[in-house]
Structure 1
């Protein structure tokens, strides 16, 4: 029965033979890793086999050129000082932090702050002769130019309230020759734009301004500037219809946000109702009231945020008072520096 277990014996013989072959090779790679032995075979001189220790790559100033290239600071960033060690002077050097350049440009009619940032990135804006950078502040005494044209120090933002009459288009021009709101204003400064829209048949308070950031915030739903409308509708809206308006109406472009809704007074077979919205989709008030079964016959915007149309005559316009402008800017979060 002695030949019943030959395999363990053959395994030991095979291992011993393999060790002898490796030792005789001397410099042959071990374990397929490409490491070379520095002496004879293991045990040839009675010395134990040495293990190779991994070499740590140095960090810091002594690391390799490859690592330095990958960790090199980009000296061409917009916020890095120019080469040569000369730093562009800013208005903060004089101790006056000033106002952010994007806000100044937006208020002077160069669009929203995002549009102003695009002008700065394109290299079209300079402050005291130096290229402007994103986030830079400018003191009141700084000389700011856009495409070489200086901002007029005396030119302040203009914000107007217009009582838009019906049958007038809210646009700078109309290819069909219909009258526009700018025809009512006559000579206006460059950069004056309307804030939001009123459709041709609607009337009431329309805001126009050269302040790009103010225009953006008043029109954007995120700032929730309230818009108050009074509408003359067919029939008498019941409590159920008013509850639907308050909860929001499913329109073809999605559900509306909740609105304030109330009945005001009868007018013949019709009723006046008041709606307060915090968004401004195309013909939204008309579509909401039609959805509850009361089509609009006449629509007037009476308030915009803290501004009230009051007794301003149709077709007339006036500049906002200091208090009105401050209240509107505060509601839009623009009262800070």
Structure 2
């Protein structure tokens, strides 16, 4: 087999996304043939022995779960401060992790996988994969809702415009809004809503790429294929 970059190999093996794999190498957690790995190095998977945190890294068959993350669950595999993480919903003998994030107070579609290449594509802004959310907003009027399509400055950079796909009035002072993003800054929808004078009462992701949440109940998952998503 031809050589490949170590961080790509780790991603393909389901250890982490490419970006996180680079961090693991940088922090000395990865060895190749008993020697601490360095950023940018290449390996031959058929010959070289790779370990991460002292455990041998083997290629695993790719698996992708579509998961309906409940409110109150943290989108991490390990977090000693979290009451409950997504890892608790999946087989303990599989090394899988979230492809992206969904904050603790939000619910909906979260992809859990050991396919590091897929995770990288879904998380990196340059690929522009759409993510759709249903958001319940409370506020005085609906006048500012279409301003979600404007650019905002968050974390020192301009956001990409969101698309308002649907607006529905639920009751006086409350609306259900479908918002579509091609990038996802941390808590972007909640922060923009606050800037526009709204409170987010509920937020659920209902689509990633081509894949919709469907009838999955909170805490349930189903296995999907890469072509179902992108």
TM range (shorter): 0.7 to 0.9
Aligned residues: 214
CA–CA separation in structure 1 for the residues paired with 2:108 and 2:193? 18
The answer to which structure has the higher strand fraction is: 2
Q: What is the TM-score when the length of structure 2 is the normalising length?
A: 0.78
* Pairs within 5 Å for 1:254-293: 254-269=157-172, 270-293=174-197
**Stretch deviating more after TM superposition (167-176 or 282-291):** 167-176
Gaps spanning 5+ residues in structure 1: where? 1-90, 92-97, 127-132, 332-337
* Pairs within 5 Å for 1:1-337: 91=1, 100=4, 102=6, 103-113=8-18, 115=21, 124=32, 142=46, 145-147=49-51, 149=56, 151=58, 155-176=60-81, 178-190=83-95, 192-235=96-139, 236-238=141-143, 240-242=144-146, 244-251=147-154, 253-269=156-172, 270-321=174-225, 325-328=226-229, 331=230
CA–CA separation in structure 1 for the residues paired with 2:211 and 2:161? 22
Aligned-pair CA distance for 1:177 = 5.4
The answer to which structure has the higher helix fraction is: 1
Gaps spanning 5+ residues in structure 2: where? 35-39
CA–CA separation in structure 2 for the residues paired with 1:100 and 1:158? 22
- Structure with larger Rg: 1
Q: What is the TM-score when the length of structure 1 is the normalising length?
A: 0.55
Q: Is the 8 A contact 1:108 1:212 kept in 2?
A: yes
Q: Is the 8 A contact 1:160 1:319 kept in 2?
A: yes
Output the aligned Cα RMSD. Answer: 3.1
Aligned-pair CA distance for 1:263 = 3.6
CA–CA separation in structure 2 for the residues paired with 1:163 and 1:177? 18
By relative contact order (CA 8 Å, sep 6+), the higher-ranking structure is 2
